[in-house]
Amino acid sequence: MYASTVRNLLVRGMLAGLIAALFAFAVAYSLGEPQVDASIAVEEAAAAEEAAHAGHGGAAAEADEEEELVSRAVQSTAGLGSGVLVYGVALGGIASLAFCFLLGRLGRFTPRATAAITAAAAFTTVFLVPFLKYPATPPAVGNPDTIGKRTTLFFLMILLSVLLGIAATIAGRRLAPRLGNWNATLVAGAGFIAAVTIAFVFLPSNEDAVAKGFPAAVLWEFRLASLAVQAVLWTVFGVAFGFLAQRLLTPRETTVPAAAEGAPTPA
């Protein structure tokens, strides 16, 4: 693939990521932010109760009066929007490079179908598999002393998932001549699931990620919202980037001018 084509696909991938991020922001704001507000309210109520039992009610009231550096309204609008947009553009660019590598190597798929496969694979390896092991938790929930350890484990799970996905893809390609595309895909997929299961068993769990007594309904709805945001992000990206890549890579049909009167008609 020519460097100019890769560059054009990269630009289109970032544009598709931007479009997908706009849809993801709408879902995050409408579904995720109410659960964040609910979790903050739970944490504040627990802190106030603990301060009252400890006899530090006055100090707690004083702390509440302190002005926030960034208001909650700004966090839930401009802060959330800018974060999601940057995230979408960056992942769109990375996914477009993965598309350049996969195009033509998975079989005779069109650019649109390859874009859909790339988006589905990215959603599975980058989000879904790590999410199943270390589900998302609302901010300000859990032990702050272990946040570094929990973040390290989460990114380790992402790295393992991506590497296992690449290994499964390579194994499927090598098995295809002997087993056929369908059987090779099934074998590679089963191997990926088995390897991920082993990683789930041996990696430690985040037992202190959620505070005891935290409402299960709020936690469940927050995790569903996180899943919905990522699903919308990658679905819209796959559709948008597939359309843009198809237009770029598929040669346009040229119309043959009508034959002049008396000219021989081409066969």
Position 266 scores a pLDDT of 54
Give, for all 267 residues of the chain, the pLDDT tens digit: 677 888 999 999 999 999 999 999 999 999 888 887 777 777 767 667 666 766 655 444 444 445 566 676 777 678 788 899 999 999 999 999 999 988 887 777 888 999 999 999 999 999 999 999 988 887 666 666 677 777 888 899 999 999 999 999 889 888 888 888 888 889 999 999 999 999 999 988 876 666 566 777 888 888 899 999 999 999 999 999 999 999 888 875 444 444 444 555 554
Q: Quick one: 121 and 41 in the same domain?
A: yes
In a domain, 62, yes or no: no
Q: Quick one: 158 and 31 in the same domain?
A: no
CB atoms within 10 A of CB 131: 18
Q: Quick one: 130 and 149 in the same domain?
A: no
Position 159 scores a pLDDT of 94
The total domain count for the chain is 2
How far apart CA 231 and CA 226 sit, in angstroms, is 9
Position 222 scores a pLDDT of 87
Task: Report which of 244, 235, 260, 242 is spatially closest to residue 27, judged by C-alpha positions.
Answer: 235
Position 255 scores a pLDDT of 44
Q: Quick one: 17 and 81 in the same domain?
A: yes
In a domain, 66, yes or no: no
In a domain, 4, yes or no: yes
In a domain, 261, yes or no: no
In a domain, 258, yes or no: no
Q: Which residues constitute the domain of residue 108?
A: 1-52+73-140+213-248
Which residues fall within 8 angstroms of residue 234, CB to CB, at 6 or more apart? Answer: 20, 119, 120, 122, 123, 127
Q: Quick one: 117 and 195 in the same domain?
A: no
How far apart CA 136 and CA 224 sit, in angstroms, is 9
Q: Quick one: 44 and 166 in the same domain?
A: no
Q: Quick one: 1 and 132 in the same domain?
A: yes
Position 152 scores a pLDDT of 87
- What's the pTM? 0.81
Position 140 scores a pLDDT of 62
In a domain, 28, yes or no: yes
In a domain, 112, yes or no: yes
